[in-house]
Structure 1
Amino acid sequence: MTGALDLDRYAGHLIRRAEQVHTSLWSKFVSETVTSQQFAVLNALRKSPGIDQRTVARLTSLDRSTAHHIVRRLTTQHYVSRVRDLADRRRTLLALTAEGRELHTLLAPAAERINDQLLAVFPGAQRDDVLRVLSQISQR
């Protein structure tokens, strides 16, 4: 029988703890009402207006069901508009409304600040390495 794991050396546990820290910082310094996943959707639409929901899900690494719920909520809140693709009537294209662009503009600087806070625990030379490692893990 194996003894208890040392959770301080267990990657999954540390990743979950890091996400808790991120969520706490997000709620405190960015928004208590807009989640980081919702912001990711707003950001994807700011960068690539006129994309469909499947593309939003891929760009934000959200499953299609979660992306659907987030887009629906942001549409109800008048941050995202939906229009039928004239070239393919089966597709719906998404874009930020004026309110959505305003919200993104308001939240983006704070999101950048908490990213800087999260990375501040690493010496400058290690920050790119940390992002590379996290990216590698997230690509699995």
Structure 2
Amino acid sequence: MTGALDLDSYAGHLIRRAEQVHTALWNRFVSDTVTSQQFAVLNALRAHPGVDQRTVAGLVSLDRSTAHLIVTRLTERGYVGQERDEDDRRRTLLTLTAAGRTLHASLVPAAEKINAELLAAFPAQEHPGALRVLGRLARLEPKEAAEPS
């Protein structure tokens, strides 16, 4: 019979726990009504106004159906405006409304604060390395992640 695993030595468990910490910090210090995924969409539209939903999904690493739900919710709340692309009527271009820009601006300082708090778990000289490792994990494609090395 196999004994219990020490989950503190398993990357997936630690990533899940780190996400729980991030979510708790987000809800407490940033917003309990705007999720970090919704903020990511707002942020992408702030940086890239006039892109379509598929592009936004790619920019923030969301599947298209989740991106659609988030864009719909943000549009219903008056934070995102939608306009048909004159060159390709099949595409809808997205921009932040004035309310969306105001909301984004109000959330940025708190988002920066919790980012700093999360990185504070590491000595300052290790921040670039920690972000490099997290970025490497975040960029794994599901197929690559499933293949044994």
Q: What's the TM-score bracket when you normalise by the shorter of the two chains?
A: over 0.9
- 1:20-35 correspondence runs (5 A): 20-35=20-35
- Residues 77-136 of structure 1 show CA distances to partners (whole Å, capped at 9, x for unaligned) of 000000000010000000000000000000011000000000011011111101000110
Q: TM-score, normalised by structure 2?
A: 0.93
Alpha-carbon distance in structure 2 between the residues aligned to 1:2 and 1:80 = 52
Alpha-carbon distance in structure 1 between the residues aligned to 2:90 and 2:74 = 21
Which residue is equivalent to 1:17? 17
Which residue is equivalent to 1:68? 68
Q: Which moved more, 1:2-11 or 1:114-123?
A: 2-11
- 1:99-138 correspondence runs (5 A): 99-138=99-138
Displacement of 1:5 in angstroms is 1.1
Partner-residue secondary structure (3-state), 1:88: coil
Q: How many residues align?
A: 140
- Residues 24-59 of structure 1 show CA distances to partners (whole Å, capped at 9, x for unaligned) of 000000000000000000000000000000000000
- 1:32-47 correspondence runs (5 A): 32-47=32-47
Partner-residue secondary structure (3-state), 1:3: coil
2:23 aligned partner, one-letter code: T
Partner-residue secondary structure (3-state), 1:133: helix
Displacement of 1:2 in angstroms is 2.9
Deviation beyond 6 Å, 4+ runs, structure 1: none
TM-align CA RMSD: 0.6
What are structure 2's unaligned runs of at least 5 residues? 141-149
What are structure 1's unaligned runs of at least 5 residues? none
